[in-house]
Amino acid sequence: MFLKETEEQLIKGCLAGIPAFQQMLYKRYAPKMLTVCMRYANNQEEAEDILQEGFIIVFEKMSQFKMQGSFEGWIRKVMVNKSLEHLRKATKIYPVLNIDKVEDKFISQDDILNTIASKELLKMIQELPPMYKMVFNLYVFEGMSHKEIAAQVGIAEGTSRSNLSDARTLLKKKIHHNVTIETKNIYLKQSAYGE
């Protein structure tokens, strides 16, 4: 027996305070939004706390959603704001300077995606210094311009640019390192099996 709630019915049910609809909202969006929160948090536990707080805001402010545009997009915005707030509160953010430039050795995107799992990519972002993490997430995933990021985070536009550049450098390093290790492992495995 399938439930037939559309997004609109789900919202109306939640607004009417029906627990079953609220549970459904959690189940429908929690996994997706947890990934969003994890990009800003240091670990899953922290991300789940942000997610929980985010859902409370979602239920409280749901009446403000005008049924225009994507409801998922609206929830995502709430979660991003909650994550930024959390990041600001939890960490004293200092920009990381003097990033060593890595060798711009070409590794194809397919190679990387084949060798590195999504979870590892997520972990790489989590390991970024807070300010880099914030700027990188807002620029790449939320599609914000440096001007918007500067206004949102409270830094200069130039700082946003340099932070993004540094974040990319660090991530490249990590990818390079990761791919090298993975390649070595594959080589070792292949040698062991005499391939």
- Contact of 21 with 10, CB cutoff 8 Å: yes
Residue 36: CB partners within 8 Å, gap ≥ 6?
Answer: 76, 79, 80, 83, 141
Work out how close the CB of 168 gets to another protein at its nearest, in angstroms, rounded to a whole number. Answer: 5
Q: Is 12 in the site for another protein (CB under 8 A)?
A: no
Considering beta carbons, is residue 111 or 157 the nearer one to another protein?
111
The one segment of 9-17, 84-92, 155-163, 181-189 that binds another protein by CB under 8 A? 9-17
Tokens of 137: 């997430």
Tokens of 180: 């090298």
Question: Can you tell me the distance from the alpha carbon of 75 to that of 30, in angstroms, rounded to the nearest whole number?
Answer: 10
Q: Is 172 in the site for another protein (CB under 8 A)?
A: yes
Question: Can you tell me the distance from the alpha carbon of 22 to that of 12, in angstroms, rounded to the nearest whole number?
Answer: 10
The one segment of 15-23, 68-76, 82-90, 147-155 that binds another protein by CB under 8 A? 15-23
Question: Can you tell me the distance from the alpha carbon of 76 to that of 61, in angstroms, rounded to the nearest whole number?
Answer: 13
Considering beta carbons, is residue 45 or 195 the nearer one to another protein?
45
- Contact of 57 with 94, CB cutoff 8 Å: no
Among 195, 63, 56, 41, which Cα is nearest to 128's?
41
Q: Is 48 in the site for another protein (CB under 8 A)?
A: yes
Question: Which of 12, 42, 57, 59 forms a contact with another protein (CB under 8 A)?
Answer: 59
CA torsion, points 68, 70, 75, 77, in degrees to nearest 10?
-90
Q: Site residues for another protein, window 61-100 (CB under 8 A)?
A: none
Question: Which of 27, 66, 89, 92 forms a contact with another protein (CB under 8 A)?
Answer: 27
Q: Is 4 in the site for another protein (CB under 8 A)?
A: yes
Q: Site residues for another protein, window 103-132 (CB under 8 A)?
A: 104, 106, 109, 112-113, 116, 118-119, 121-122, 124-125
Question: Can you tell me the distance from the alpha carbon of 71 to that of 9, in angstroms, rounded to the nearest whole number?
Answer: 12
Site residues for another protein per CB under 8 A: 1-5, 9, 13, 16-24, 26-28, 30-32, 34-35, 38-39, 44-45, 47-48, 51-52, 55-56, 59, 104, 106, 109, 112-113, 116, 118-119, 121-122, 124-125, 136, 139-141, 165, 168, 171-172, 175
